[in-house]
Amino acid sequence: MKDFFRRNGLLILIAAILLALVTAVVSMLLGGKANPVANFVNFITTPVRNGISAVTNWAEERYSDAFELEQMKTQLEELKKENSELEAKIREAEAAIQENERLYNLLELTPKGREFTKEAAMVTARSTSNWESTLTLSKGTNQGIEVDDCVVDEYWNLVGIVAEVGENWCTVRTLIDANIEMGGQLSRTGGAAILEGDLALMGEGKLKLTYLPENSQLMSGDLVITSGRGGVYPSGLVAGHVEEVRTDASGMTDYAVIVPETDLDSLQQVFVIKDFNIVE
């Protein structure tokens, strides 16, 4: 190799000088245009550079879109959470308003001449079958509730009787339950009778009034209230109204079909009468 450069060194130098001169002349002749070598290189590489640039721009746009989408998802979740919290507050406010309205009605409509010790309770469950009609309430012995306590709605309509009690719950046998029996009274005439649950009528959401007074002229719509006979249950609670008078299977005795004044299916809050006194 060294011999090659010694023998041809002068020729190589002359060739390099000529190449430099040719390049300078071409550059001058082109007037600032790229020389053929540079032009060739750029001709080959420009499409590649453009492709790389396009791919880079596309990737940046997709990343930006994905980032914005993720931000939107996060904001949407935050809005959903805020909306749920607002809805919960609205429900709480509505429940508080409804409870205040019930308490107001209860106080305004308190029967005259009597004092009541009562406990508000929420209806937590219902059980209606061919054999029973009961409600489960959110209060029990911890709040002083006992078996045989009367239960009313906000308008002092009879709901039922406490049948079983736990520490923080109780079961109420509704007034249409087949096992219910208590003294009743016709509000219009004052005639005494017996309010009874009936298996057949329970399916219709009704009960019956038996042992009707002789020659009683019952009218559809007559109110039936509790008589308070025996002192176990308070008097004057509205049980329901007369729908019609029927004759029993024997054909010997009449009884009245009673429609409860309270709407057992829609009750949310009730009031347990823990004690009551007659006030002179």
Domain 116-278 has CATH 2.40.10.350: yes
What mean pLDDT, rounded, does the chain reach?
Answer: 79
What tokens does 97 get?
């308003």
Res. 66 pLDDT band, cuts 50 70 90: confident
- pLDDT at position 228 is 86
Residue, of 213 and 138, whose pLDDT is higher: 138
**Distance of alpha carbon 96 from alpha carbon 91, whole angstroms:** 8
Residue 243, burial from CB neighbour count under 10 angstroms (0-12, 13-18, 19+): middle
Res. 231 pLDDT band, cuts 50 70 90: confident
Query: What's the mean pLDDT in 173-189?
Result: 93
Residue, of 234 and 83, whose pLDDT is higher: 234
Q: Name the residue ranges covered by the structural domains of the chain.
A: 116-278
**Distance of alpha carbon 255 from alpha carbon 248, whole angstroms:** 7
What tokens does 149 get?
């306590």
- pLDDT at position 129 is 82
Query: What's the mean pLDDT in 106-131?
Result: 79
Residue % of the chain over a pLDDT of 70: 65
- pLDDT at position 60 is 67
Query: What's the mean pLDDT in 93-105?
Result: 60
Q: Flag whether pLDDT at 154 surpasses 80.
A: yes
Residue, of 68 and 124, whose pLDDT is higher: 124
Cβ-Cβ contacts under 8 Å for 164 (sequence gap 6 or more): 147, 170, 171
Strand partners, 225: 185, 238
- pLDDT at position 176 is 96
